[in-house]
Structure 1
Amino acid sequence: MIAIQNLNFSYNKGRPLFKEMDLQLGQGHIYGLLGKNGAGKSTLLKNIAGLVYPDSGSIQVLGHNPRHREPSLLSEISFIPEEFYLPQVRSDKFVRANAPFYPNFDSGYFRELLGEFEIPLNQRVADMSYGQKKKYLISFGLATNTKLIIMDEPTNGLDIPSKVQFRKIMASAITDERCVLISTHQVRDLDNLIDAVIILDEHRVAVNASVSSITENLCFKKVKELSPEIIYAEPAIGGYNAIQHNSLGEDSKLDLELLFNAVSQKQETITNLLHTPHYV
């Protein structure tokens, strides 16, 4: 689906954002893209969508180089940005203007999603609240039925009930032919939704692994006291939230926030234990 090799990118030539980055993404998965502010999450998404171009290295998306902006590729990419502009038109006019770019657009599914999100059909899209606009764009993006869906901070501006709806809708939207890539700094919004994790750190991909692979190799647990086998721990009520090597094959639930913090402090140790630098 997506193959990135030796990617180098910078907005300022003296300050590279990515250095020799490699990344492989496969279809049939929902990836959660995590990273500190300034790590390049949005920039990576834009590189994949062909909105910015690398200094060197290669990017292949569905067999195409995205910098060429070929219609056959763009019609298979739905990009939902964090920052957006919506015109002063009603929904039906917006759809008539934009849906033709996507051959597989499903107007019935679009109306179904708007109903799920409680978005009025007869309102001008520019007059909606920020949260309504975000849900409108998510609905339109999913209704395009593209093979690649890219979302940059999709839950920003959503209230708690809307976030619950978002997770429910996204869980039902994944297919074996589709790849979904979601960038967020609100890691708990992706709980029980994603099946693979990408973490950017120090100009490269620090982690690219399936959730099952992570929990097979790492054990997330609450402990009362620290011990030598603990790789990373954070104070919690009654003890510590900890990560350790899953040498006993224990079942545990992935704690995305704890993993993210652990990678920031113990990247080499975590990466070596996962043994999966490139998950497909």
Structure 2
Amino acid sequence: MLDVSNIEFGYNKQRLFTNLSLSVEPGQIVGLLGLNGAGKTSLLKLIAGALYPQSGDITLYGKSTLQRNPEVLADIYFVPEDPWGPALTPESWLNRYGVFRPNLNRDLFFTLLEEFKVDRTKLISRMSYGQRKKCALAQAMASGSRLILLDEPTNGLDIPSKAQFRRSLSLVDLQDKMFIISTHQARDLETVLDPILIIHEGELLCNFSASVITEQFSLRRTDSLNGLSVIYAEKDALGYQALLAEPGAGADLEMLFTAAIQNPEVFKQALYSSQPSQTKETH
């Protein structure tokens, strides 16, 4: 289990997070949504132990990641948006660096490379950005680490590769693993993410199961917004596509994300007022 407790963090005089708290359970694939610059990457680096908060603590199965204990760090795998491309083939990488990952699954690694159509005989440094990223994703998912942090994993991937990535998650035994996947492209991964965290201007706007969120709101095509409990609406040639604060046909995640960013206070009020037993994790 991952616990982030009352984290405060910022760069120079700019405060990014204040009293940020959240928890992740084994088996979850958490979607971390936010605009570029919202703090998604900083949060992942804090969890990975690559950055240090001014106060608060982060623990993985009861052990602080901030102490940078090698045993704890081996249980975390962080893939940045632009992954490192060493002058090694994937197999050479495995032989050289696999020793630092005692639970690494070689068979799964090569299965994932095949799924991603990555040439295992080619130097990673000479791969395209998309191929290099898929190699890094295979490394992470086969690492055996129980906490896998992926920063914008679908950036740079074409449409077939995005589908390959979604399928590849089914090859990983999630029973004792946790994924946190940051993205600002909600539609790419909405079928696999649950729960959903939305970060905006340093605040955790939302921390709910995807099913709770999508069932709480509904989408409606309408000519007029009069008399409707509108959270957010987009006008087009046919009228309005409106997100309403009422149960109905499940709203898609991208529309919900846009609503949360455009009208955060209205979104929070609609979401949390319907969940009396659910408490906001943080501001």
Contact 2:82-2:133 at 8 Å conserved across structures: no
Kindly state the Cα deviation for residue 255 of structure 1 after the two structures are TM-superposed. 1.8
Q: Deviations over 1:241-280 (max 9, x none)?
A: 222222xx4242x42221122112322232233234349x
Counterpart Cα distance in 1 of 2:231 and 2:51: 38
Kindly state the Cα deviation for residue 157 of structure 1 after the two structures are TM-superposed. 1.3
Of 63-72 and 212-221, the range deviating more from structure 2:
212-221
Name structure 2 gaps, 5 residues minimum.
273-277
1:28 aligns to what SS in structure 2?
Answer: coil
1:259 aligns to what SS in structure 2?
Answer: helix
1:149 aligns to what SS in structure 2?
Answer: strand
Over 3 Å counting, the alpha-carbon distance change for 1:236 and 1:197 in structure 2 is: farther
Structure-2 residue corresponding to 1:17 = 16
Structure-2 residue corresponding to 1:269 = 266
**Aligned counterparts, 1:104-253, within 5 A:** 104-173=103-172, 175-227=174-226, 228-246=228-246, 249-252=247-250
Structure-2 residue corresponding to 1:74 = 73
Kindly state the Cα deviation for residue 151 of structure 1 after the two structures are TM-superposed. 0.2
Counterpart Cα distance in 1 of 2:111 and 2:47: 29
Over 3 Å counting, the alpha-carbon distance change for 1:70 and 1:222 in structure 2 is: farther
Query: TM-score, normalization: structure 2?
Result: 0.91
Kindly state the Cα deviation for residue 166 of structure 1 after the two structures are TM-superposed. 0.8
Contact 1:2-1:61 at 8 Å conserved across structures: yes
Task: Output the aligned Cα RMSD.
Answer: 1.8
Counterpart Cα distance in 1 of 2:105 and 2:173: 15
Q: Deviations over 1:117-137 (max 9, x none)?
A: 111111111111111110001
Counterpart Cα distance in 2 of 1:191 and 1:215: 11
Of 133-142 and 233-242, the range deviating more from structure 2:
233-242
Counterpart Cα distance in 2 of 1:130 and 1:86: 9
Contact 1:174-1:180 at 8 Å conserved across structures: no
Amino acid at match of 1:50: G
Structure-2 residue corresponding to 1:260 = 257
Amino acid at match of 2:188: D
2:110 aligns to what SS in structure 1?
Answer: helix
Counterpart Cα distance in 2 of 1:37 and 1:201: 10
Structure-1 residue corresponding to 2:275 = none
Contact 2:57-2:66 at 8 Å conserved across structures: no
Structure-2 residue corresponding to 1:3 = 3
Q: Deviations over 1:30-60 (max 9, x none)?
A: 1111112211100000000000000112222
Amino acid at match of 1:235: K
1:67 aligns to what SS in structure 2?
Answer: coil
Over 3 Å counting, the alpha-carbon distance change for 1:202 and 1:90 in structure 2 is: closer
Contact 2:83-2:132 at 8 Å conserved across structures: no
Over 3 Å counting, the alpha-carbon distance change for 1:263 and 1:162 in structure 2 is: same
Name structure 1 gaps, 5 residues minimum.
none
Query: How many residues align structurally?
Result: 275
Over 3 Å counting, the alpha-carbon distance change for 1:221 and 1:27 in structure 2 is: farther
Q: Deviations over 1:6-49 (max 9, x none)?
A: 2111111x211112212222221111111122111000000000
Amino acid at match of 2:248: E
Amino acid at match of 2:16: L
Query: TM-score, normalization: structure 1?
Result: 0.92
Over 3 Å counting, the alpha-carbon distance change for 1:174 and 1:184 in structure 2 is: farther
Kindly state the Cα deviation for residue 177 of structure 1 after the two structures are TM-superposed. 1.8
Amino acid at match of 1:270: F
Contact 1:171-1:193 at 8 Å conserved across structures: no
Contact 2:65-2:72 at 8 Å conserved across structures: yes
Q: Deviations over 1:86-135 (max 9, x none)?
A: 22122222101111222221111111111111111111111111111100
Counterpart Cα distance in 2 of 1:145 and 1:164: 23
Counterpart Cα distance in 2 of 1:86 and 1:111: 18
Amino acid at match of 2:156: G
Q: Which runs of 4+ in 1 moved over 6 A?
A: none
